[in-house]
Structures are given as C-alpha cells and as structure tokens.
Amino acid sequence: MFLANLLMATNKDTISFGEALKSPLIIVAMICGAFGIACVMLAKKVAVAVTKNPDVKPNDKTYVGMRIAGLVLIMIAFVLLFVWGALGVTQA
C-alpha cells in the first residue's frame, strides 16, 4: 500500500527544491554543516596559531577540540535533516 501511495503521489504530497531550502530547519542544518566542515578543515591551522608552534601533535588539546566541535556540528546538521524528513514534506 505504501509503495502504491508513493508511486501515485499528488502535487500536495511533494515539495520543490526551492520550497525545501526555505525551511528553517534546512537553513540551520546547512549553516551547522558549513561551520562544522570549516572547523574540521581549519583545526590544524587554528592549533598552530594558538600554540605558536608549527609542529602540532595529533593529541594537542586545541587541535582535538576543534575537530570534535566540527564533528559535533556536522552531526547536529544530520540530525536536523533527519528531523525535517521525519516531519514529512507537507509539514515544511
């Protein structure tokens, strides 16, 4: 029954890409994801700037903290996307 309903979806059961991007949850998820990716990618440069040592070890507190913060932000973005998907497209 679910497959039949999925194949015979009407216009009110779907949402366009532009409408999806206007959803507040999607906007917040994209911002969290962007900041998370930036934190992960810039973690080593920030650790070098903070410690003033060009040789940063993998167990440096600043380096590990930035990577963890970035990964947490990426995880929050995924959770927000899952919540938006669980609400259904008509609720957006």
Residue 49: name the closest of 72, 31, 70, 66 by CA.
66
Task: Give the tens place of pLDDT for each residue, 29-46.
Answer: 999 999 999 999 999 999
Q: What percent of the chain has pLDDT over 70?
A: 79
Instruction: Extract the tokens encoding 54.
Output: 């060009």
Residue 10 is assigned to a structural domain of this protein: no
Total count of domains within the chain: 1
* Beta-carbon count within 10 A of 86 CB: 8
Residue 63 is assigned to a structural domain of this protein: yes
Alpha-carbon distances of 39 from 27, 29, 34, 36, 86, rounded to whole Å: 18, 15, 9, 5, 28
Residue 29 is assigned to a structural domain of this protein: yes
Residue 1 is assigned to a structural domain of this protein: no
Q: 26 pLDDT exceeds 60?
A: yes
Residue 22 is assigned to a structural domain of this protein: yes
Q: 63 pLDDT exceeds 80?
A: yes
Residue 11 is assigned to a structural domain of this protein: no
Radius of gyration of the chain measured on its C-alpha atoms: 20
Domain interval for residue 66: 16-91
Residue 78 is assigned to a structural domain of this protein: yes
Residue 6 is assigned to a structural domain of this protein: no
pTM of the entire structure?
A: 0.76
